[in-house]
A and B are shown apart, each in its own frame.
Chain A
Amino acid sequence: MERVIEKIRGYKIWGIILLLGFLVSYPWIFTDPHPRHVMIILLMYVVLGQAWNILGGYSGQISLGNHIFFALGAYTSTMLLLKVGLPPWIGVVPGAILASIAAIFIGQICFDLRGHYFAIGTLGLAEITYIIFLNWNFVNRAFGFQIPILKNSTYYVQWANKEPYFYIILTMAVLVVAFVWKMDKSTLGVYLKAIKEDEERAKSLGIDSRRYKLLAFVISAVITSFTGTFYAQYILYIDPDSLLNLEFALLIIIIPMVGGMGTVLGPILGATLLIPLAEYARTAFGGGGRGVHILIYGLVIVLLALYEPRGLIGIVKRRFGKTFMLYGDDSAPLFGEGDKS
């Protein structure tokens, strides 16, 4: 039996190499803009989903306001670009700082709330932000900003074809997944899981749960704001309606929810299932299909809630059991004695 497990572990490493190989060569395999675009969006949601996962999946605070950070990142880098000529490579930093401050602010206000109270609290704040942006001249109200097309300027983070965008978002996705994997097995991961399961008990053991939740929230916000800047440079147009709408907030949380909250693979599985699904629904149903993918999402979520609340990961777990641990679950340590990482 041990040998079988060793074999599967061996395959697992090859699996990752193959997957990465496939992803890296994706733009060479699929040369049309459309499949490239879909993949870029997919990877973007992997990043967004993982970022959300850090707070929502691991520490149990369900945030419906992460898109605020996305917007902050996008608007900050874009406005600095348009008004001061600051290249977005640098513009991401102020965006991230702003997002961190926002996260601390929101966290301090809302962290005493748990479960659905926190969710609706963050949603309320998000809606307030949306309305403010819609009416605020400084951010150009509902008109938003259009970034002038420069056709291939690496300095200003713009390219005519999709390849560079693809590799940037791919790098981000790999980095974020690696980070969450490391965090899952680290002290922070253990603390957050404890806080999620029984925060009062964690506090009784001496853990300053508020600090750790804030940390998770800030990390989540920073990653999300980076993605916002990326998006702005990719689409070249931002406005409150596309960045601060409710559907976007829902999508950010649906992906890790469906895939499996609090796991490393969850958001990846979730995005891999749901984004292509949306694309297929869109093309299959033509014009009226704009909302169909969410309709299907709704159904998927309900079915999962009834039969497998742990998400797709739960289904994988059930099917393959302990021998196929693809993520840092310490009940069947994967890379040697998993505890001393």
Chain B
Amino acid sequence: MISFQLLLQSSISGLLIGGIYALVAVGLSLIFGLMNIVNFAHGDYLMLAMYATFWANYLLGWDPLVTLPFVLFIWFFAGAVTYKVVIRRILDAPMVAQMFSTFGLGLFLRYGAYFFWSADVRKVNDNLLSGILDIGNIYITKAELVAFFGSFAATALLFLFIKRTKLGKAIQATSQNKEAAMEMGIYTDKVNAIGWGIGIMCVGLGGVLLATYYPVHIYSGWMFTLISYISVALGGFGSFWGVYLGGMMIGVIENVFGTVFVPTFKMVFVYATFIFILIYRPKGLFGKF
């Protein structure tokens, strides 16, 4: 039997990484909410952010927290540029074309990374956040903790931004009804671009935070795309904190089952959860559509 201790430990680790899943998922649902497009390249932007963190650390000796603002800045623009160059053209295209475009983009990014950096797994060493905390026999690395709070803070900020600022409200309006928003004078094109920018920026942030303790490698991108997609499905499209909760839950499910069963089996439960939701509760737990 599994000790309660072990269960608790894995749950907490799961919650902590779940915070990052949640942040990334929120980014995905922002994009989806705005223009009904699933970004199949979402996780690959995260993977690139992780690599950026690694190389900055390896080649320049930068601590991830130093790399962070740069990544935020660049990733925001990467998102907006992706929108302007690729996404904008397929907004009204058939769903198949939309799937292809982000899908192909993901392939391009992933195998571009593979080409340059090969499939070796990298790790970021010597960072400010090394060290483990011992809280009542539960072991948490500093990095995990900081990453969690960082992503939570970011999500909260994002939430406030969406709800309180004028730009945020424009985003809400466009998500609900594009035509009505346009009639109200909102430049939906700009809003879309900013939405992408923010979405990818979240991903970038998640990537940097994750790189402080998680191994860096090519295929992690696709895995995170799936995880964020599943989180959104679990939480429900249209619910901000629902998606966040979804991400946390996926983190817990993955970790707990990975500890209780063979670690290689853990994704089975994540996928099984996903398929279960798709069939029995397609709206997700808190979703609006």
Do A and B touch, yes or no (CB under 8 Å, in the complex)? yes
A131 in contact with B268 (CB, 8 Å)? yes
Residue B160 lies at the interface, judged by CB distance under 8 Å to chain A: no
Q: Which residue of B lies closest to A56 (CB)?
A: B96
Contact (A299, B264) CB under 8 Å given A116-B95, A124-B274, A309-B93: no
A261 to B99, CA, bound (A): 13
Count, chain A residues at interface, CB 8 A:
42
A128 to B272, CA, bound (A): 8
Partner of A304, one of B100, B109, B114, B229: B100
A306 in contact with B86 (CB, 8 Å)? yes
Q: Which residue of B lies closest to A134 (CB)?
A: B264
Q: List the A side residues contacting B90 at CB < 8 Å.
A: 305-306
Q: List the B side residues contacting A173 at CB < 8 Å.
A: none
A295 in contact with B262 (CB, 8 Å)? no
Q: List the A side residues contacting B226 at CB < 8 Å.
A: 120, 123-124
Complex interface bits, A289-301 against B, C-beta within 8 A gives 1, otherwise 0: 1111011011111
B107 in contact with A250 (CB, 8 Å)? yes
List CB contacts (< 8 Å) of B92-139 with chain A: 93-101, 103-112, 114-115, 118
Q: List the A side residues contacting B265 at CB < 8 Å.
A: 131, 135
A299 to B86, CA, bound (A): 12
Q: List the A side residues contacting B109 at CB < 8 Å.
A: 298
A298 in contact with B104 (CB, 8 Å)? yes
List CB contacts (< 8 Å) of B251-285 with chain A: 262, 264-265, 267-268, 271-272, 274-275, 278-279, 282
Complex interface bits, B81-96 against A, C-beta within 8 A gives 1, otherwise 0: 0000010011001111
Q: List the B side residues contacting A309 at CB < 8 Å.
A: 93-94, 96-97, 100
A208 to B262, CA, bound (A): 42
Contact (A306, B278) CB under 8 Å given A135-B262, A295-B111: no
Complex interface bits, A127-150 against B, C-beta within 8 A gives 1, otherwise 0: 110011011000000000000000
Q: List the B side residues contacting A93 at CB < 8 Å.
A: none
A121 to B107, CA, bound (A): 19
Q: List the B side residues contacting A300 at CB < 8 Å.
A: 104
Residue A109 lies at the interface, judged by CB distance under 8 Å to chain B: yes
B267 in contact with A301 (CB, 8 Å)? no
Closest CB of chain A to B38's CB: distance in Å? 5
Q: Which residue of A lies closest to B274 (CB)?
A: A124
Partner of A246, one of B222, B262, B278: B222
Q: List the A side residues contacting B103 at CB < 8 Å.
A: 301
Closest CB of chain B to A85's CB: distance in Å? 33
B101 in contact with A112 (CB, 8 Å)? no
Q: List the B side residues contacting A246 at CB < 8 Å.
A: 219, 222
Q: List the B side residues contacting A288 at CB < 8 Å.
A: 115, 118
Residue A117 lies at the interface, judged by CB distance under 8 Å to chain B: yes
Residue A113 lies at the interface, judged by CB distance under 8 Å to chain B: yes
Closest CB of chain A to B63's CB: distance in Å? 30
Residue A54 lies at the interface, judged by CB distance under 8 Å to chain B: no
A305 in contact with B268 (CB, 8 Å)? no
Q: List the B side residues contacting A195 at CB < 8 Å.
A: none
Q: Please, could you name 13 A-B residue pairs with CB atoms under 8 Å apart, sorted by A?
A: A115-B95, A116-B38, A121-B278, A124-B271, A131-B268, A135-B262, A135-B264, A295-B112, A298-B109, A301-B107, A302-B100, A306-B86, A309-B93
- In the complex, besides A291-B111, A294-B111, A301-B103, 6 extra interface pairs with C-beta distance below 8 angstroms are A134-B264, A246-B219, A246-B222, A289-B115, A298-B109, A302-B100
